[in-house]
Structure 1
Amino acid sequence: MNLFVPSECTDPSCIVRDQEVLRSRMDKYLQAYEQLDYFSGSVLVALDGEIVLNEGYGMADREHEVKNTRDTIFQLGSVSKSFTAAAIMLMHEQGVINTDQPIDRYLADFPNGDTITIHHLLTHTSGLSHPVGLNTKVSMKLENVVHKFRDQPLAFPPGDQFQYGSSGYILLTYLIEQVSGKPFEAFLQDHIFHPLGMHHSGYDVHNRILKHRAAGYSAAGDEVVHGEYAHMSTHAGAAGLYSTTGDLYLWDQALHSDLLFSRQTRERLFTPFLQNYGYGWYIDRQSLGGRLRTRIHHGGLGNPGYFTRMTRFADERLLIVVLSNFLLSPLEKMNRDLAEMMFGETVTFPDKPEVQAPVQPMRYGGFAGTYEAFIPIHVTVEHGRLFINIFGFKLELFLQSEAAEQIDFYAKAAYVRISFRKNFSGKIDGATIHWLGEEGYYAKRRDEYEHAATR
């Protein structure tokens, strides 16, 4: 285990200020993930408006061995929602719409349009159902995407609950086009991207040639594979944009100023409602450097093979942007560790398992079964190989070490560890799972699988 232990910070309010020291430490930390093939992407960290680090790691295109750089373009996933919310608030400031008004004032004949407000759409409290029968692999007109959920019954009365999803932000995209008379991308280019100099950001149309676009990757079995194709027209303003770390830095700087919005509008963007969600951002408190700090953030991920996160500590003027073209990058841990480094805390570097060869051939049948945590996790044996099936991914497990009370396995294709626990009779009754480098959580084995047959 490799540790970085800072010496500069003893006061809880401390931020390490030596930018060259910070850049070197963070670069070494990120290189460790790159060398283990757990991360590929681009990372930017800025403090007080000054960029501390902006570098690429790993491959943008593995087949052609093209490396990621600070100029690499990534699909943003749900980080796109911050721009869609901003477009709505620009129209609100212009007096073109009012976020407190019901949507039937702007979209005639929309079911329940007299009770759903724009505010409900922005905060995921509208009750709109998820799209039904949506084929994300083909190009679709925005109106047709909206029809995949518009006539579905509401999941709950508007304003009563929080249900995160895409429907509200797809409908906001449609509203922007209907009220402004412009295509969604044209509105963003005219009112946000061009004014801010964000020349490498836009709406991701798949057949468009984009220089420096990263290919997306995922993992299956014991290897990295191409991410599944998805057409961004079906995601619209919910997840359909692309950008670079540098452009998102410009976006962050604009959110600290009156360049686009008034202070009153910015305060509304970052006011948390149900489940700490504001307008296109989560707003919460995170303990770092010995105190609670206000964190404004959003992440995005999807089948095309991208995982993204933008985190703003507005009071400290600290920005962390991590854009990855590997869907199983340990982004949550990396993002938190980078923040901890900035606030003078100790972080753990990733390490490669020291694999011990089994004394005798391993009988994997004793591990097979379903393990219950907050979701069911399935462990299977196929043709003499052991797999974990979790969050829709199927990863092969390899023996790391064996002791009297537990047996440890790891996945080669992603930062995943699992420790199976033996009971007093030597049978497996549970497992501690470390998903993407996170702290372990315990999963109890279901009794009906305790005597799974060996295959």
Structure 2
Amino acid sequence: MKIYLPCPRYYIVITTILICIHTGAMAQTSSPAVGSCNTRLAGQLEQLMAAYAANGLFNGSVMITRQGTLLLKKGYGFSNLAKKEPNTASTKYALYSITKPMTATLILLLAEQGQLRLNDRLSRFYPGFPAGDSITIYHLLTHTSGLYAYNNDNSMPTQSEDAMIEFLSQHSLEFVPGSQWRYCNTGYYLLGFIIERLTGLSYAEALQTYLFTPLQMQQSSLDFRSLSATRKAQGYHFMFLDSAQQASTYPYEELRSAGGVWSTAGDLYKFHEAMQRFRIITDTSTSKAYTPYKNKYGLGWFIDSIMGCQVVSHSGGAAGFRTLLVRVPEKDICIILLANAENMDLEPIKEQLLRVLFAQPYEIPHNIHLPIRQLNAIAGTYQLDAAHTLYITRIHQQLTGQVSGQQPVLLLAGNDGKFTVPGMKGYLEFIANGQGKYDSVRFFRKGRVYAGTKITPKWGISGTATPNDWNGPDIMLLPDPNEPKRWRVLAVNLKNGLIKFRFNNDWTRNLGKNKNNAALIENGQDISVSAGTYNIILDLTNPGNPCWKMTPVIP
């Protein structure tokens, strides 16, 4: 059973030394006053990023420019934690959905060449396709087509164009094209196929011909999984300082023109420059791309503003990586954030960087170190309501919080006893009872207060081999009286099928098999079992190496 969890929001920062960045590779300012301003900005930007990295809140590469002047270009943390290989400014990352602005740019270029029109119907390319007369290229570009979304459950076949079209033909539209907005990779898959039909090139060849080669983007291509090169980042499901879990990136067939590009910060800057100087498409086509249709989305770009200036951006996020390309065309500002861990929330970082660049007040979040005994006392499981549980875990000298269905986020400890998650605009208060034990929590957010009580949860077994299938209730395990971190169940009857270990009847925390060895890992693979009666032990005495044992009970 696959578990897909959304990306969290968090950051923690401490103050660090100001470092001014200069380079001869970018345009230099001639005015001493402007030069002094850039030096100040470079120091402030470096202060922020170095602090995020020092607390495990950013692990990746960053590049920031203004009017062609380089303000910051640097790598932070590790591209491969096990090998202690550092991220650099030249590290290669899977971009995922930053691919979409590139796909949209190619479509607009083909429109300029007269090979298509944005109001062309899908039926032009796929005659007989159901509802093909009601879906336009424009709908595909703006996520308003109503097509079945690949994001639904990943059941759509992606191995070939024919297989995808056959699958889509059997699914009715989810809404009338143009009437609603729903982020949809499917539309961008089809745009890639349309590019191939019109150019006679594969999507990869078209990108190389029309984008990468003219812009000298020599460190960009497709199919990150098969890339064998130096400075390639390893992706992680999560990374908390020296604690991490590796992720396996998706095969190219599941990404294509919706998310298949890999690149570097430097190459993405070349893309920014080309868009800024209208070197790929005209200013007229660019204006169309930057015009929002629904949900602040244009043609391959999210559209926002800051202090009256338009901000165009696109993020990327899937297995192992979080990426963000932010541009302010009017000010010629470019921010590139590439992270190789899914728990890196780049939005709060972006917001603070923009505030620096626009000379607005900005925050450097701080965290105080509490005694380990206090952190251990707070850690535990708190029931917020019937559907939501809050899991608090200590990692080193900090706590992480994880709400049901979400990934863990770092909590900032304040002098006032409050724990915050900046970007969430709320805080947590843990309350001790008369005996000094923390037994409840209050969660303040958007003027509301949510209360939770600490509970004593249990590990259990879920799966097709159990009487209740995947959705429980689980077969419960009990702690060993002599070793509370060793859980067991005796003489349990199982069918032929699959199992996983699940905490608190909740898929938020689950253990499955590591495909590389016999150990267990978070969100691991299903465990195959044969029908029979078993004694089962889940051993968590070594948190870094959970394991299990199944012993048949012989009658």
2:220 equivalent to 1:201: yes
Aligned counterpart in structure 2 of residue 115 of structure 1, from 131, 134, 142: 134
Answer whether contact 1:201 1:242 (CA < 8 A) is retained. yes
Q: Could you tell me which residue of structure 1 aligns to residue 88 of structure 2?
A: 69
Answer whether contact 2:38 2:71 (CA < 8 A) is retained. yes
Q: Which moved more, 1:20-29 or 1:271-280?
A: 20-29
Q: Could you tell me which residue of structure 2 aligns to residue 379 of structure 1?
A: 390
2:309 equivalent to 1:293: yes
2:251 equivalent to 1:237: no
Superposition deviation, residue 213 in structure 1: 1.5
Q: Could you tell me which residue of structure 1 aligns to residue 429 of structure 2?
A: 420
Q: Could you tell me which residue of structure 2 aligns to residue 39 of structure 1?
A: 58
Q: Could you tell me which residue of structure 2 aligns to residue 134 of structure 1?
A: 154
Answer whether contact 2:343 2:409 (CA < 8 A) is retained. no
| Alpha carbons of structure 1 residues 264 and 220: separation in structure 2 relative to 1, 3 Å | closer
- C-alpha offsets along residues 278-302 of structure 1, whole Å, 9 cap, x if unaligned? 010011222xxxx332111111111
Answer whether contact 1:402 1:408 (CA < 8 A) is retained. no
SS at match of 2:49: helix
> Matched residues in 2 for 1:370 and 1:146: separation?
44
Q: Could you tell me which residue of structure 2 aligns to residue 395 of structure 1?
A: 408
Superposition deviation, residue 24 in structure 1: 2.8
| Alpha carbons of structure 1 residues 377 and 295: separation in structure 2 relative to 1, 3 Å | farther
> Matched residues in 1 for 2:52 and 2:205: separation?
38
Answer whether contact 2:367 2:413 (CA < 8 A) is retained. no
> Matched residues in 1 for 2:91 and 2:83: separation?
15
Superposition deviation, residue 371 in structure 1: 5.6
**TM alignment of 1:124-203, pairs within 5 A:** 124-131=143-150, 134=154, 140-203=159-222
> Matched residues in 2 for 1:178 and 1:42: separation?
36
Answer whether contact 1:33 1:39 (CA < 8 A) is retained. yes
Q: Could you tell me which residue of structure 1 aligns to residue 341 of structure 2?
A: 326
Answer whether contact 2:393 2:401 (CA < 8 A) is retained. no
Amino acid at match of 1:99: L
Superposition deviation, residue 320 in structure 1: 0.8
| Alpha carbons of structure 1 residues 396 and 46: separation in structure 2 relative to 1, 3 Å | closer
Larger Rg: 2
Q: Could you tell me which residue of structure 1 aligns to residue 25 of structure 2?
A: none
SS at match of 1:255: helix
| Alpha carbons of structure 1 residues 350 and 228: separation in structure 2 relative to 1, 3 Å | farther
Q: Could you tell me which residue of structure 1 aligns to residue 294 of structure 2?
A: 274
Superposition deviation, residue 167 in structure 1: 1.2
SS at match of 1:100: coil
Q: Could you tell me which residue of structure 1 aligns to residue 71 of structure 2?
A: 52
Superposition deviation, residue 75 in structure 1: 0.9
Q: Could you tell me which residue of structure 1 aligns to residue 322 of structure 2?
A: 307
- Which runs of 5 or more residues in structure 2 are unaligned? 1-13, 19-32, 459-555
> Matched residues in 2 for 1:204 and 1:361: separation?
44
> Matched residues in 1 for 2:341 and 2:268: separation?
19
Amino acid at match of 1:368: Y
Superposition deviation, residue 191 in structure 1: 0.6
Aligned counterpart in structure 2 of residue 345 of structure 1, from 360, 365, 389: 360
Superposition deviation, residue 221 in structure 1: 9.1
> Matched residues in 2 for 1:421 and 1:337: separation?
28
> Matched residues in 2 for 1:358 and 1:336: separation?
35
Q: Could you tell me which residue of structure 2 aligns to residue 284 of structure 1?
A: 304
Superposition deviation, residue 393 in structure 1: 4.3
Amino acid at match of 1:307: R
Superposition deviation, residue 322 in structure 1: 0.8
| Alpha carbons of structure 1 residues 188 and 226: separation in structure 2 relative to 1, 3 Å | same
TM-score (norm 1): 0.81
| Alpha carbons of structure 1 residues 389 and 418: separation in structure 2 relative to 1, 3 Å | same
SS at match of 1:64: coil
Q: Could you tell me which residue of structure 1 aligns to residue 479 of structure 2?
A: none
Q: Could you tell me which residue of structure 2 aligns to residue 369 of structure 1?
A: 383
* Higher RCO, Cα 8 Å, sep 6+: 1
TM-score (norm 2): 0.67
**TM alignment of 1:83-98, pairs within 5 A:** 83-98=102-117
2:285 equivalent to 1:261: no
| Alpha carbons of structure 1 residues 214 and 381: separation in structure 2 relative to 1, 3 Å | closer
Superposition deviation, residue 389 in structure 1: 3.2
Answer whether contact 1:120 1:126 (CA < 8 A) is retained. yes
SS at match of 1:237: helix
- C-alpha offsets along residues 203-234 of structure 1, whole Å, 9 cap, x if unaligned? 12522323321111122899321124321321
Task: Please report the RMSD computed on the Cα atoms of aligned residues, expressed in angstroms.
Answer: 3.8
Aligned residues: 422
Superposition deviation, residue 172 in structure 1: 1.0
Superposition deviation, residue 110 in structure 1: 2.1
Q: Could you tell me which residue of structure 2 aligns to residue 431 of structure 1?
A: 443
| Alpha carbons of structure 1 residues 424 and 444: separation in structure 2 relative to 1, 3 Å | farther
Q: Could you tell me which residue of structure 2 aligns to residue 217 of structure 1?
A: 236
> Matched residues in 2 for 1:16 and 1:150: separation?
59
SS at match of 1:368: strand
- C-alpha offsets along residues 113-148 of structure 1, whole Å, 9 cap, x if unaligned? 100000000001101122366369x98334434544
| Alpha carbons of structure 1 residues 158 and 292: separation in structure 2 relative to 1, 3 Å | same
